[in-house]
């Protein structure tokens, strides 16, 4: 009999290993599957039992609850205060549109058999029967855009690499998920690593690349070990290596581990870091698609972008673009974090409102205090107020509202937050993480933090606010990459949307 | 955590495993730290010579990355996430308490991807969600 206890590091961080050990202690005959997390992190540790009626969920389970679960006959779906019914019918999960995250939490992450049973490898097999042109056309037609934050159409990037001639091309997966409030890349790798491998393999076949590299951050040790094991299994299976699933295509993947630098999530800094150098941003052009890793044509895509490709190839572009709004097609894996009652992964079609995400799914703040601000899109994203809750969550609407989607993370704050302090932190973070190449970012960030400090202390408030806005303009227009160029976004949005926090001593 | 005592000979054996890697300098420094717990300054000329780089190149990489350290770590290492999502659930208050209690072991970090279960803290490589001072003390034992 199988019992599922997530091995996802978020679940483990609140006791999943202890829960699994406690279950085994009481009944050693049970098979414990360490699946990924279903994404309802507020229900973790979510224990599931496989019954004739489907999987029955119990959560959040702490180690101390395990004996009472046995007493309630949970193995046969017995009643218990933590019982949640059938997992697939939990409204929070059932109402989502899981495409990229279709298998996460459901399968054993390292079982190729289960991967195949749940639709895995269909996209790759279709790609192998196809031509480069048709694959790229399918990806372009699907409307899939870069999920790392820039939102660049994936198919167009691939086409550039495919059309550039070279003996060696690379597929680089950006798994340097450094934005606070984002964890989808980690959860996908920990819960369904073969999907990423499949997406990278398809990309390699499409553009003529034989080497893939995943740049994975050191802060994610469990993701590193799962992905490494998955790569090894895929090699043994005859998927990665000199002949992909018996075809004439060769493709293999290697992991490079980050070293705690936020700016290395910027694509050119990431290339420098993979080359073993300081993570200093490169000027563009040349585009990485033409001169990327080691000077060779390189596809750089985020984990979620690459992991969505197998579904596009399996079900077709039309099925993917049937969801979404305007030029934001398909689904977005939103991540609810910070001070939120029901945090986790919400994958929905673009166009859901901010309010639906925060209220229907998020259930308000964790503290129970009134909600005051939400930062969307990571540390370089804007702070939105309660007056903007009807904003449609898609690339264009968020830009129009003075923000950006980024990697899809939402960080919620209750009414204790001081947005002047948050604005100052944005500048301080930029000062700590700047690669130092360009002046507006390297020096502007320090001067910005000092200026906000003066505003907080009430020193020449109006003058300093003017100075700060001027500095923000210089950073936005004069920085080489998004680090310095977007740090003004949280700062300015805080000033515009929360003016009462910038009144100095008068607050 | 257990590390090997620093030894140039052991370091050379490890570097040989990276002989065929493209762009090996950062990997080499990470490998040194994994084995010895830190990057001994003697590694700089060693890696430079081994991979035909200048000492300035290696020093530059060593000083760029937050993860890399040039002094041996203490018995315990506590990394506190102080990024926005954890700030929203009290990371700053926790930071004060932890730094007061374990001033020599505690370092700031930015995001472990546990943003729905913050504050997040890593103690000796083990991730702790909804962290409290008590949970950190427990994990240190």
Backbone angles phi, psi at A198, to 5 degrees: -65, -45
Sheet strands (E) in A310-400: 324-325, 328-329, 331-338, 344-349, 371-376, 383-385
- B18, B58, B81, B84, best to mutate vs chain A, most A CBs in 10 Å: B84
Nearest Cα of chain A lies from the Cα of B89 at a distance, in angstroms, of: 6
Shortest CA distance to A474 belongs to which of A463, A482, A485? A485
> Taking a contact as any Cβ pair under 8 Å apart, which residues of chain B between 35 and 94 contact chain A?
57, 60-61, 64-68, 81, 83-89
* Pair B16, B55 in one domain: yes
pLDDT at B1: 66
The ipTM value here is 0.97
Residues A218, A178 contacting (CB under 8 angstroms):
no
Confirm whether B108 is domain-assigned.
yes
Q: Given CATH 1.20.1440.230, say whether it is the number of domain A419-506.
A: yes
* Pair B35, B86 in one domain: no
Residues A217, A256 contacting (CB under 8 angstroms):
no
Confirm whether B1 is domain-assigned.
no
* Pair B135, B82 in one domain: yes
Q: Identify the segments of chain A with pLDDT beneath 50.
A: none
Residues A426, A483 contacting (CB under 8 angstroms):
no
Class of domain A2-94: alpha beta
Confirm whether B29 is domain-assigned.
yes
Contact A178 B118 (CB under 8 A): no
Chain B environment of A275 (Cβ under 8 Å): 22-23
CA A363/CA A302 separation, integer angstroms: 29
Confirm whether B73 is domain-assigned.
no
Contact A220 B113 (CB under 8 A): yes
* Pair B20, B44 in one domain: yes
* Pair B85, B135 in one domain: yes
pLDDT at A338: 98
Asked if the C-beta of B109 comes within 8 angstroms of chain A's C-beta atoms, the answer is yes
Overall number of domains in chain B = 2
Chain A environment of B18 (Cβ under 8 Å): none
Q: Which residues touch A367 (CB under 8 Å, ≥6 apart)?
A: A339, A414, A416, B89
Confirm whether B125 is domain-assigned.
yes
pLDDT at B141: 85
Domain A324-414 belongs to what topology? Answer: Ubiquitin-like (UB roll) (3.10.20)
Q: Identify the segments of chain B with pLDDT beneath 70.
A: 1
Backbone angles phi, psi at A492, to 5 degrees: -70, -40
Chain A environment of B109 (Cβ under 8 Å): 219, 260
Q: Which residues touch B141 (CB under 8 Å, ≥6 apart)?
A: none
* Pair B20, B56 in one domain: yes
> What's the domain range around B105?
78-140
pLDDT at A506: 61
Domain A112-321 belongs to what topology? Answer: Rossmann fold (3.40.50)
Asked if the C-beta of B111 comes within 8 angstroms of chain A's C-beta atoms, the answer is yes
Residue A354 CB coordination number (10 Å): 24
* Pair B52, B88 in one domain: no
* Pair B51, B89 in one domain: no
Residues B65, A259 contacting (CB under 8 angstroms):
yes
Q: Where are the domains of chain A?
A: 2-94, 112-321, 324-414, 419-506
Tokens matching residue B37: 């717990």
Chain B environment of A379 (Cβ under 8 Å): 83-84
Residue A75 CB coordination number (10 Å): 17
* Pair B95, B127 in one domain: yes
pLDDT at B139: 95
Q: What is the CATH number of the domain that holds B103?
A: 3.40.30.10
């Amino acid at each position: 009999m199988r019992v599922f206890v997530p091995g996802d590091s978020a679940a483990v961080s609140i006791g999943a290993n202890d829960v699994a050990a406690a279950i085994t202690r009481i009944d050693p005959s049970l098979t414990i599957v360490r699946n990924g997390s279903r994404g309802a992190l507020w229900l973790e540790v979510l224990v599931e039992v496989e019954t004739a009626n489907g999987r029955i969920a119990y959560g959040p389970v702490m180690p101390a609850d395990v004996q009472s679960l046995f007493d309630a006959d949970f193995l046969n779906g017995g009643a218990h205060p933590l019982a949640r019914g059938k997992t697939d019918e939990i409204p929070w999960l059932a109402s989502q549109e899981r495409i990229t995250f279709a298998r996460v939490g459901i399968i054993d992450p390292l079982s190729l058999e289960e991967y195949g049973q749940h639709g895995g490898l269909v996209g790759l097999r279709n790609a192998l029967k196809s031509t480069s042109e048709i694959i790229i056309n399918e990806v372009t037609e699907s409307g899939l855009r870069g999920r790392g934050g820039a939102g660049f159409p994936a198919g167009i990037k691939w086409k550039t690499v495919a059309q550039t001639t070279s003996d060696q091309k690379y597929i680089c997966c950006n798994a340097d998920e450094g934005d606070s409030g984002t964890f989808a890349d980690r959860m996908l790798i920990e819960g369904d690593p073969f999907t990423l491998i499949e997406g990278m393999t398809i990309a390699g076949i499409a553009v003529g690349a034989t080497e893939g590299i995943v740049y994975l951050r050191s802060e994610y040790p469990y993701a590193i070990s799962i992905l490494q094991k998955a790569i090894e299994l895929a090699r043994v299976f005859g998927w990665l290596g000199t002949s992909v699933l018996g075809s004439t295509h060769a493709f293999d993947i290697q992991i490079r581990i980050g070293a705690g630098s936020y700016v290395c999530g910027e694509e050119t800094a990431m290339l420098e870091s993979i080359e073993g150098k300081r993570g200093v941003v490169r000027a563009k052009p040349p585009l990485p698609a033409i001169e990327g890793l080691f000077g060779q044509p390189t596809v750089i895509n985020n984990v979620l972008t690459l992991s969505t490709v197998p579904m596009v190839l399996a079900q077709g572009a039309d099925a993917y673009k049937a969801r979404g709004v305007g030029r934001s097609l398909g689904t977005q894996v939103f991540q609810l974090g910070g001070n939120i009652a029901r945090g986790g992964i919400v994958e929905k079609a673009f166009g859901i409102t901010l309010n639906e995400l925060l209220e229907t799914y998020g259930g308000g703040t964790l503290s129970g205090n009134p909600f005051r601000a939400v930062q969307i899109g990571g540390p370089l994203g804007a702070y939105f107020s309660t007056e903007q809750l009807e904003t449609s969550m898609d690339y264009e609407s968020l830009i129009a509202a003075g923000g950006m989607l980024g990697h899809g993370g939402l960080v919620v704050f209750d009414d204790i937050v001081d947005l002047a302090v948050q604005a100052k932190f944005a500048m301080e973070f930029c000062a700590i993480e700047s690669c130092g190449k360009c002046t507006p970012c390297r020096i502007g960030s320090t001067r910005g933090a000092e200026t906000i400090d003066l505003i907080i202390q009430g020193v020449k408030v109006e003058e300093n606010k003017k100075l700060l806005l001027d500095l923000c303009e210089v950073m936005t227009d004069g920085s080489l990459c998004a680090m310095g160029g977007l740090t003004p976004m949280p700062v300015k949005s805080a000033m515009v949307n929360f003016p009462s926090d910038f009144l100095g001593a008068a607050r | 955590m257990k590390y090997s005592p620093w030894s140039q000979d052991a370091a050379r054996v490890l570097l040989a495993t990276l002989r065929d890697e493209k762009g090996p300098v950062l990997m080499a420094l990470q490998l040194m730290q994994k084995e010895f717990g830190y990057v001994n300054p003697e590694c700089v000329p060693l890696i430079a010579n081994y991979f035909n780089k200048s000492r300035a190149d290696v020093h530059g990489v060593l000083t760029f990355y937050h993860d890399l350290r040039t002094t041996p770590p203490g018995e315990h290492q506590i990394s506190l996430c102080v990024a926005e999502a954890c700030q929203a659930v009290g990371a700053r208050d926790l930071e004060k308490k932890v730094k007061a209690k374990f001033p020599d072991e505690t370092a700031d970090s930015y995001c472990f991807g546990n943003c729905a279960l913050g504050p997040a803290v890593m103690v000796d490589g083990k991730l702790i969600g909804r962290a409290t001072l008590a949970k950190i003390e427990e994990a240190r034992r």
